[in-house]
């Protein structure tokens, strides 16, 4: 049994993390830090937890905690760690983008390992500090890594991915408000999205001379999930492509390659990634589906915690999809 703390527990990822850890047999939540909600019940903010916990938000931090999750806005984890130093024995899992890139992975003597288990499982098992991947980055990397490992990601790759409104966080903006998202769709940060950096670094782990990525992110009129498609040049048959993907993910706990076309609802409310590949006229099309709040954030953070602490990788993550 370990004691865990959560920093920034009032947002969507914080709420999902609390829900997962409350039902994890090997974790006790010691505190959920929030300066704006200190003293109030966690269930008053995350109303789905009504009757499941009497936890209250706290403005105090235990610097000797076994493990802490940082669920802060991008750029804020660095500042928080400077103002609230934790002990050398405290494991840290950061859900922001502060430490994901190699150039930023060392912070005040801490070496953060990029927490994509399908790529760095052995490193994660030995790590004390984890940079949890981004949601778009997770879906897209899992779609492309088998091609990079086979060093056949030689031509440009075209990617189109749509995320639910929860990907933008709890704060309201003109493009997250219901009246904007409902019956609407739009793209943003075309070809320049911040997740491209971590995606490229992971692909370069296998193939140094890969093709360029052209990524168009979209806002969808649904709440949860990421639906991503990518296509590029491929010389081979569909059965060869499928065998390539199944071989790469044969030991993956949460990534499955489907023989049949997939749909987003299959993975919503789970820590799974479902993949499907088809070949047409010398092109491979890969479909990738994840829940942006789970495999794209809090679920993957718990998966990383399990690996770091020597727990079974699937512990606390046996979740049912919302397909029905």
Active site residues: 135
Determine the Cα–Cα distance for residues 287 and 276; give it in Å rounded to an integer. Answer: 5
Distance CA 30, CA 97 (A): 25
The alpha carbon dihedral of 288, 290, 292, 295 has a sign of: negative
CA distance 54 to 32: 12
Surface-to-core class of residue 98, CB atoms within 10 Å of its CB (0-12 exposed, 13-18 middle, 19+ buried): buried
Report the b/e string of 181-203 with b at 16+ CB within 10 A.
beeeeeeeeeeebebbbbbebbb
Helix 238-248, helix 135-149: angle, nearest 10? 110
The 8-class DSSP code of residue 170 comes to: S
- C-beta atoms surrounding 124 within 10 Å: 22
**Mutual angle of helices 12-22 and 298-309, in 10-degree steps:** 40
């Amino acid at each position: 049994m370990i004691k865990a703390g959560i920093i920034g527990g009032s947002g969507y990822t914080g709420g999902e993390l609390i829900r997962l850890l409350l039902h994890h047999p090997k974790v006790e939540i010691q505190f959920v830090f929030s300066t704006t909600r200190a003293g109030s019940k966690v269930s008053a903010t995350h109303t789905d937890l009504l009757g499941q916990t009497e936890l209250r938000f706290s403005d105090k931090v235990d610097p000797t905690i076994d493990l802490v999750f940082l669920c802060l806005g991008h750029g804020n984890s660095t500042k928080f760690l400077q103002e609230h130093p934790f002990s050398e024995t405290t494991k840290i899992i950061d859900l922001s983008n502060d430490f994901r890139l190699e150039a930023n992975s060392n912070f005040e003597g801490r070496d953060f390992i990029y927490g994509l288990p399908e790529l760095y499982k052995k490193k994660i098992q030995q790590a004390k500090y984890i940079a949890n991947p981004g949601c778009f980055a997770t879906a897209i990397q899992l779609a492309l890594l088998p091609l990079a490992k086979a060093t056949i990601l030689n031509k440009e790759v075209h990617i189109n991915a749509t995320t639910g409104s929860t990907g933008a966080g709890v704060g309201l903006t003109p493009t997250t408000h219901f009246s904007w998202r409902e019956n609407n769709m739009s793209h943003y940060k075309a070809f320049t999205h911040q997740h491209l950096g971590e995606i490229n670094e992971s692909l370069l782990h296998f193939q140094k001379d890969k093709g360029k990525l052209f990524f168009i992110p979209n806002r969808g009129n649904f709440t949860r999930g990421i639906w991503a498609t990518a296509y590029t040049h491929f010389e081979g048959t569909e059965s060869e492509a499928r065998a390539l993907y199944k071989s790469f993910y044969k030991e993956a706990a949460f990534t499955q390659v489907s023989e049949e076309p997939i749909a987003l609802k299959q993975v919503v409310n789970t820590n799974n990634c479902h993949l499907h590949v088809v070949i047409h006229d010398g092109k491979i099309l890969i479909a990738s589906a994840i829940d942006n709040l789970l495999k794209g954030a809090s679920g993957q953070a718990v998966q990383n915690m399990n690996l770091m602490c020597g727990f079974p990788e699937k512990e606390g993550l046996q979740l049912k999809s919302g397909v029905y």
